[in-house]
Structure 1
Amino acid sequence: MTERLRLAFMGSPDFSVPALRALHAAGHEIACVYAQPPRPAGRGQQETPCPVHRAALELGLPVRTPARVKRDTAEHEAFAALDLDAAVVAAYGLILPLPILEAPRRGCLNIHASLLPRWRGAAPIHAAILHGDAESGVTIMRMEEGLDTGPMLLKGTVPLGPRATTAELHDALAGMGANLILRALDENPPAIPQPEEGATYAPKLTKADGLLDWSQPAASLDARVRAMNPWPGAYFPHGRESLRVLAAEPAPGTGAPGEVLAGPALTVACGEGALRLTRLQRPGRGAMDADAFLRGYPLPPGTRLG
């Protein structure tokens, strides 16, 4: 590292933690860490700090957890008073207003988990898997008021195999983002404006995005299972329950969409082809391979799934 910079770090989920640790290990001065406020979690619904908050405390770094910053002038003033060289933002989860974006001398640099301008927005990793992209990556960009529209400083690319999952891609891009932000701060590369051609948007996911619609092609449902694991989770209703599908793969077979087909494995007919469900979970139960699941929850051939 050629220069020790005074930074703020703004992030919340697991994706952001490798970058925070890398900046700290590289010797940068982290004046403050900003994270989403603690929220109720677990069976006891106890207030629980987010992963970045916990990592910051472990590293002995000061933490602020404002519920909002967009119109809070006191927060704007407190941020400006930090006298920062730059702010590093990684999946923070709050919209940053112009007073925040313009306060650091080198601006706010965002670690975005896609090859911009493809998959701007909240769920770029899921979108890449869901839409069968051949590659994904990380873009380091200088933030502006538009949604992920700022100029680009660095990119890193990773190929996506046909069985790639959101969980695997998440971990690969988190590590890549940590390495790229160190380079961006060290090298201070020129900013390149994003082209509007090819821009796509990945909206925030909801539970409904995990619903398996058996009228869709098996290849599309396979991608949805891989994209929605671990959250929000792929599922289908059956009886009074929603059964979660943790792993699946396309398989030969024909039948009415949603029909369980005859054979040694749990295979369901789709709008095109069939989907073999290999790992499932009932509400409040542990995950099981299909054979063990069927011993306690029979789904005989001819059953129609919701």
Structure 2
Amino acid sequence: CEGVHLYYSSPSDINYFGYLDSYGAQLHPLPSDPEGVVVDSLLAEGNPKNDKVLFIWSSCNPPTNVSLSKGRRDKILSVCKTHNIPVIDNCMLELYNLEKDGPNYLFRQGFSDGVVQIGAFPRGMAAGTWLSWIVAPKSVILRLEDIKEKRFRTIDILSQKILLHLLETGELQNYHDSVREKLREDTFSNNYLIQKYLGDIADWNRRASGWCFWLRFKKPINTKLLFESRQGISFNPGFFYDPLDTQHIMLNPPSLTKEQFEEGLKKLREEILYLFPEAFNKG
């Protein structure tokens, strides 16, 4: 509702898309670490009020690609339950979460009444199965308006029947498992390619990561100039997600073929060498 105070982990794609503040929400970034949003900072903002809502990505938070650790998930639920703070959990990138204790909330038991989860079924299961889903308390579901176009209602019904069959037979879980295995292989090769072309000038989280890579340059680089001068190179600069960020870029291999990704890394290195040769100087 208009005037709600929405708290979220920064950096975030909330700044990139700008879709939440357009509905009247007042946005408040919270710091994050390698385990996810630092929920204690939510309480440091003052006495929690009824108009506070916490927005999280439980898996692969864009652009940092951090998935909440089990300890951090438990801490978030505990704090928000104690202070009656609702949680909106975006699970859209759940399939890309390769952590051993990563959440799979679609099949999770013990759903909390204070959490609204949103996500989507993967396109690759069958034609016409690109359906979003939401899990929430009954009172929330009853208040939701149908904002989707209804022109393809019959296809939606068919998709639901297909997905119901996949859920009941366990094929959806099998599909998730097979995709994750492929993502692990791709992540290993992508880490190798990034190390090959940018390892001497940038650092990044090398843990299993199926969605993106959040690179931090070891020496100052004008990422705005780098972005403006790119030649057929696909990357997002850090200031897309945090206006003050001048040290990071985000790479998104799943949107490219392996050949395109390697060619892009090669061009990126050449562009940085041309614009900022000092970045390659040791010491």
Shorter-normalised TM range: 0.3 to 0.5
Higher relative contact order (CA 8 A, sep 6+): 2
Structure possessing the higher radius of gyration over alpha carbons = 1
TM-score, normalization by structure 2: 0.35
Normalized per residue, the structure richer in strand is: 1
TM-score, normalization by structure 1: 0.33
